[in-house]
Structure 1
């Protein structure tokens, strides 16, 4: 087909080609003017010197993309990304055949279900503006804006890996560069949970890194703990709407940390001032009443 715009090859300068912007660790082009089907968007990207729809391959990259959309004010569009289950229903892959990330913190998670939920009729992935730019499955013949990824990058590589933890004390496990302890043998209020953590030289966990949230989710699945609910060390009890960790640092807000309900959490106003990871909420951040009986998720005090 003939596209409205065809970009011809030019010399690479700096880290990204001129049409692309460094977002996270990828050079990306956000097409916001033309709306195309999933297939057309892929072809359009390919005509930009062999680019492709962006492949989201890490939680940190996903967060960088969502942050960029909000910072640039380009929030009136949903965006195609490189993921589909066209060949085999329920098996999501990229155009190159690589596994597409599933679950939290990528796909929209509500209190009663998590995307993808379109079954055979919705086979292509996009960042859905109505779901705060979490990934959603959509009909491939729908027309949306899209994000292209530069085909080849110069050898510069940005790394921001979590520090390694050589060993953790008894009852703690190394996850995402931290020593964490999941106290599944008791359920307590938020205040009592802090006391339990302090008894083992810790405090309720602080989760500022989106990769850590993903690692926690993966651990819960492997250990078959996805039917448990856990306290985290954050609250806005002191000042409504000002969410702080127990160490006084600011809690990250929005996608991809906080889950969805009618809108986006936190949504409990003055009645719900404490943070939890809930099984029914797919282990995104949720605000709940501090009097609930949940399991403490402790972090070794550094």
Structure 2
């Protein structure tokens, strides 16, 4: 159906609305559900529009629609939405691994309805702690991070530098989607978006099996990893074995560890 038709069906037949994406965890849960149900050949309308106010995305009720990472599809050279005044409705695009994309509202897609007050948002890694972070660190979400902008180092040296900064320091482990969202918002708010940041993931010596420096598994797929042409990262094969946050969109991407990037350090708790 078209966006308007889908919205009407949700209201009249389901007593619901088109799904409202109100947190990173909510978005991830929907993506995971689509994969569990193997509904991988369709795209889905959700409640997001910028009709009449191009670039200002809201729900049909006028609430702000989340922008940036980890919601909208991100590529090495641009991030959605990019359709201007011709594409004014939001859908989860199966061709872009179910990241959100803007499209003509008269297109025909499947759709997701949501009952009001039926979803409890996760607060994990969102609320801040009262305990102060050590010198050189700042609290982002529930963790203490240090953005070492004065350094551009290969991955191995960046990992060592985190330890030099503090004995409990290591390259950041970003295994929760709300934490990734908190990092993205902090970088935007503090005007720190001109750096690429090393974080503590690698598949060196175990190609395709991505792990953090503590041995735990790196989460894969949407909404953590960015897109590359028609594929999803990691896309570098045996030549790109280290994980970084790209300054284009701050999704996960793989790259050679010999590149000189900024360390993003985390305090071990």
From 234, 244, 262, the counterpart of 1:266 = 234
- 8 Å CA contact 1:49, 1:151 repeated in 2: no
CA gap 1:157/1:60 in 2 versus in 1, 3 angstroms: closer
The separation in 2 between residues aligned to 1:208 and 1:71, in whole angstroms, is 20
1:40 matched to 2:5? The reply is yes
Q: Does 1:109 align with 2:77?
A: no
Q: 2:162·2:265 contact (CA, 8 Å) conserved in 1? A: yes
User: Take 1:261 and 1:176, find their aligned partners in 2: how far apart are those partners?
Assistant: 28
In structure 1, the residue matched to 2:180 is 213
1:74-98 CA distance string (max 9 Å, x none): 1110000000000201110001100
Partner of residue 228 from structure 1, selected from 195, 199, 202:
195
Return 5+ residue gaps in structure 1 as ranges: 1-35
- Distance (Å, rounded) in 2 between the aligned partners of 1:42 and 1:194: 49
Q: Which residue of 1 aligns with 2:170?
A: 203
Structure 1 CA distance, aligned partners of 2:120 and 2:59? Answer: 22
- Whole-Å separation in 1 of the counterparts to 2:101 and 2:117: 27
Partner of 1:88: 53
- The Cα of 1:48 is off from its aligned counterpart by 3.1
Paired position in structure 1 for 2:206: 239
Per the alignment, in what secondary structure is the counterpart of residue 192 of structure 1? helix
Aligned-partner SS, 2:232: coil
Take 1:287 and 1:63, find their aligned partners in 2: how far apart are those partners? 21
Distance 1:159 1:253, change over 3 A: closer
Alignment partners' CA distance in 1, 2:210 and 2:107:
38
1:62 and 1:89 mapped to 2: Cα distance?
23
Q: Following TM superposition, by how much is the alpha carbon of 1:49 offset from its aligned partner in structure 2, in angstroms?
A: 4.6
Aligned-pair distance for 1:132? 0.2
Whether the 8 Å contact between 2:140 and 2:183 is mirrored in structure 1 is: yes
CA distance in 1, matches of 2:120, 2:226: 31
Which SS does the other structure have where 1:46 is aligned?
helix
5 Å matches for 1:90-239? 90-153=55-118, 157=120, 159-162=122-125, 164-165=128-129, 166-199=131-164, 200-201=166-167, 202-239=169-206
